[in-house]
Structure 1
Amino acid sequence: MHYDLTDLRLFVAIAEARNLTRGAERVHLAASSASHRIRLLEESTGTPLLVRQARGVSLTRAGDVLLRHARQVFAQLEQMHADLSPYAKGVRGHVSLWANTHATHAFLPDSLATFLQRHPQVGISLEEHTSPEVVLAVARGEVEVGVVADTVAGAEVELIPYRADRLVLIAPPDHPLARRARTAFAEVLDYPFVMLHAGSAIHTFTMNAAAALGRHLEVRIQVRSFEAVCRMVSAGVGLGLVPRSVIAEHSQRLPLAVVELEEPWAQRDLQVCVRKRELLSRFAADLVDCLTGSRLEPR
């Protein structure tokens, strides 16, 4: 196949405008030139991409497929530009960091803000994963630094204390569970829950905890942040499972009942995870120092 980014941009513009002339105008091409490019693009792909109609165009099935992939191509290009931009601005270092949901939402924003203020020449790529995924990635050398609540048996990593916290159940004040001080997880599985989105580390962890009891968690709604979980729970949508540190931020302005969970896994002491601390790059070592409040001996 022979085509370039201009062809793809033109095709996306026409597909979104549903009109060849207006699409051509968006990418600053004459209609005749645009028509010629589209014809060559169709010849290159070996299939019609557009259906010409009296008042515009519509996409064939092949056109739908090309549009989806073209949008992904341009999204990847934008991400590439975003990743390269810091280097043009003088960033001289980069650290890869994976963390579970708890750490990402509750503690890392403040910790990373402090680190980046001290090290403006360093960039950080932060990804959210489950604790076992983080541990294994660090053990394999794919990620320099992780923050986890659980480890993996046999994984050759070093763990350094970061923060202590605990998962608690939150309920609307008028909920039947609101009068309890403590409860077992198995006793709340008959009620609907408000959860973080599927794919988040805490969503995966909680669903697995229910599955271990041979039960299925009823998720009434999924949201994108712990704050949204608290708001939904206070409005009576369902129960929630959140770190205690999150409650402190929202309990003053949201009506919430907090119930302790009688489960060993509810204690979520976070730890910084590295493969071998003495082998960290200088910037990764500085990040670990900032997270743990410690200093390595000069190397």
Structure 2
Amino acid sequence: MRLDPVSLKLFVSVVERGTIAAAAENEHIAAAAVSKRLSELEETLGIRLLIRTNKGIRPTPAGTELSTMARRALHELDEIAVHMREYEVGIRGFIRVHANISAITQFLPDDIKKFLSEYPNIQVDLEEKITSAVIKSVAENAADVGIFSGDMSDQDVEIFPYREDVLALVVPADHPLKARDGLRFAEALDYDFIGLHRGSSINRVLAAAANEEKRNLKLKVQCTGFDALCFMVNSGLGIGILPLELARRYSVMFNFRIIQLSEAWTRRKIQICVRSFESLPTAAKLFVNHLRTEPGSL
């Protein structure tokens, strides 16, 4: 059984106005067409819905029940249209975001909080991945928006500037380098390093920098996150590289020294990538524009 919303709307209009002529005038349709719709509705449901008299039309008990249910159903259909319109204009939506740990720990918490305060009915699904996986996910449409560090991009994606961070050296409190305010990276290569997990953008940067010095990077331990790296450095297992702002935050909890490096590669770009900005859902477009216009964005 299929019920036509137009027929239900006409039926409710006839019940409310008491005559086919009044309903037809209100709905801007011929009276004969309204009458035909009502007859088809009764035939479809197999029951008499209206009693026609010389004074007008009144519903049967079944018709009264149908008018109540029809109003509810038509209201639900209106709600569907409203909600879909909200998705179209970006008031509602679901955004898949893949980002590397540097973006997640430094910038995204505040930026996402501000975005969701403006669009509370949009859901952001944030997943941490290494830079290469972030870009691959966006290129393969596994994510709507990607945020990564550096210039790496061998995929067909659009890239926008987002933020910038600076890498710094962290050493145990009793380390031979503890008294240094700044140094060249080559001097640090004499010591064991605590690194991040395989494939991380910081590991790639350090390996490339060591290669420029024609030296090997001595990775003593590899960790899955910045907090684990700080614990390892704090225990004296080695030295590590962190974004400067994060190192300052962690220094409140850990007893290590922060030393700035002189090389230009320590200043990194944090970037946004999408497959095609124009083809993004409206909510994702709003999110990208929000990230690009926040204070501190490039």
- Normalised to the residue count of structure 2, the TM-score between the two structures is 0.58
CA displacement at 1:182 relative to structure 2:
2.4
Give the match for residue 108 of structure 1.
108
Is the 2:101–2:225 Cα contact (8 Å) retained in structure 1? no
CA displacement at 1:171 relative to structure 2:
0.8
In 2, distance between residues paired with 1:166 and 1:194? 18
- Name the amino acid aligned to 1:126: L
Give the match for residue 143 of structure 1.
143
Post-superposition Cα deviations, 1:173-199, rounded to whole Å, max 9, x if no partner, equal 321222222222232122112222334
In 1, distance between residues paired with 2:170 and 2:252? 14
In 2, distance between residues paired with 1:212 and 1:108? 32
Give the match for residue 258 of structure 1.
258
Runs of 4+ in 1 over 6 A off after TM superposition: none
In 1, distance between residues paired with 2:227 and 2:233? 10
- Normalised to the residue count of structure 1, the TM-score between the two structures is 0.57
Matched, 1:166 2:159: no
CA displacement at 1:211 relative to structure 2:
4.6
In 2, distance between residues paired with 1:262 and 1:248? 18
In 2, distance between residues paired with 1:201 and 1:214? 20
CA displacement at 1:141 relative to structure 2:
4.8
Give the match for residue 179 of structure 1.
179
CA displacement at 1:172 relative to structure 2:
1.7
- Structure 2: stretches of 5+ with no match in the other structure: 1-90
- Name the amino acid aligned to 1:234: N
- Name the amino acid aligned to 1:264: A
Give the match for residue 98 of structure 1.
98
In 1, distance between residues paired with 2:239 and 2:158? 36
- Name the amino acid aligned to 1:291: L
Matched, 1:268 2:268: yes
Pairing 1:143-222 to 2, within 5 Å after superposition: 143-152=143-152, 157-211=157-211, 213-222=213-222
What secondary structure sits across from 1:94 in the alignment? strand
In 1, distance between residues paired with 2:106 and 2:269? 12
Identify if the C-alpha distance between structure 1 residues 129 and 166 changes in structure 2 by more than 3 Å, giving closer, same or farther: same
CA displacement at 1:142 relative to structure 2:
4.8
Pairing 1:52-63 to 2, within 5 Å after superposition: none
* Residues paired across the two proteins, number: 204
What secondary structure sits across from 1:177 in the alignment? coil
CA displacement at 1:132 relative to structure 2:
4.6
Pairing 1:44-123 to 2, within 5 Å after superposition: 93-123=93-123
Give the match for residue 291 of structure 1.
291
Which structure has the bigger radius of gyration?
Answer: 2
CA displacement at 1:272 relative to structure 2:
2.0
Is the 1:149–1:270 Cα contact (8 Å) retained in structure 2? yes
CA displacement at 1:157 relative to structure 2:
4.2
Is the 2:170–2:240 Cα contact (8 Å) retained in structure 1? yes
In 2, distance between residues paired with 1:133 and 1:121? 28
Is the 1:195–1:241 Cα contact (8 Å) retained in structure 2? yes
What secondary structure sits across from 1:190 in the alignment? coil
- Structure 1: stretches of 5+ with no match in the other structure: 1-90, 295-299
In 2, distance between residues paired with 1:204 and 1:154? 15
Relative contact order (C-alpha < 8 Å, sep 6+): which is higher? 2
Give the match for residue 281 of structure 2.
281
CA displacement at 1:169 relative to structure 2:
0.5
Give the match for residue 239 of structure 1.
239
Post-superposition Cα deviations, 1:126-154, rounded to whole Å, max 9, x if no partner, equal 34344355345545655321212222467
